[in-house]
Structure 1
Amino acid sequence: MDSAAPEEAVPPGLEISLGSALELCRLGLATMIDIRQSFEIEMKGAIPDTVHVPLFEVKLMLGHALTEDEQDILDAGQPKDMDVQSFFTTINRLHHAHDHLLLCVCNSGRRSLAAAALLRSLGYPKALSVAGGFQAWKKLQQG
């Protein structure tokens, strides 16, 4: 019997490949939202032409409970100056005004699944998670 923990199943239709995400952005049909904390972007770098909306700050701002790990990551960085109104203004501008897909990207593709699910629960059905996240993008850049 395998003692490894089973991988969590990705809900159907919630994830998109990096290649497809980049092509949709290139065509102007989608916007990539980097949901990592500011310090992660400063340390590891950013994907060009992404919009930065830190997930844990958004969850906290909307009254969602954070796990202990999420709180630790949030505490490690400098908070972004964002309130509920500016969050929804940003998301509405991207989603409704442009009828864009909202492509959430994190470091590895796990937190972005939670971000896409959160956006969908808030009424943004075109939210998706980019598989592999920043690590996949970095690998693609390195050839």
Structure 2
Amino acid sequence: MNDTIEISASSAIELVKLDLACLIDIRQPFELEAEGTIANAISLPLFQLKKSLGHALNEEEQELLDADLPDPHDVQHFLQLINGLHYTKERILICVCNSGRRSLPATQLFRELGYQRVFSLRGGYRALT
């Protein structure tokens, strides 16, 4: 994979413990129910994020999206939250999905938006358990 955007579970845990990073859980709500949540992680489903930012979803993503199109207030709230964590509190953002596959494009999306200290958790949620 791409070591420049991936981070190991042990490194991620240490950064969170030191209050230098926060976890962004990009899994869908049904995945959180099935697999479990991560303490203190911010839940932000990837497909909702993509749709909020005006990115097209493929057919499978659209099918998995079990929420309505976010309204402008949701988008503004999300950007305020992420900007507050990333810039004001100077936190590293670490994207987490189940296996580490969806968090890679999520990390790329954040980086395209100008958030350079964003990483994908190698192995995803399963690497944490």
User: Do the structures match in fold with TM over 0.5?
Assistant: yes
CA RMSD of superposed structures (Å):
1.6
Paired residue for 2:116?
125
> Residue 45 of structure 2 aligns with which residue?
54
Count of residues in correspondence between the two structures: 127
Q: Map 1:1-143 to 2 at 5 A.
A: 10-74=1-65, 77-79=66-68, 83-138=74-129
- 1:55–1:115 Cα contact (<8 Å) kept: yes
The structure with the largest alpha-carbon Rg is 1
CA gap 1:12/1:137 in 2 versus in 1, 3 angstroms: closer
Q: 2:116 is matched by which residue type in structure 1? A: P
Q: For 1:105 and 1:93, how far apart are their aligned partners in 2?
A: 19
5+ residue gaps, structure 2, are none
The alpha-carbon deviation at position 79 of structure 1 amounts to: 5.0
Amino acid at match of 1:132: G
| Unmatched segments (≥5 aa) in structure 1 | 1-9, 139-143
Query: Deviations 1:43-92 (Å, cap 9, x if unpaired)?
Result: 21111110111110110111111122211211xx3459672101101111
Q: TM-score, normalised to structure 2's length? A: 0.91
Output the TM-score relative to the length of structure 1: 0.83
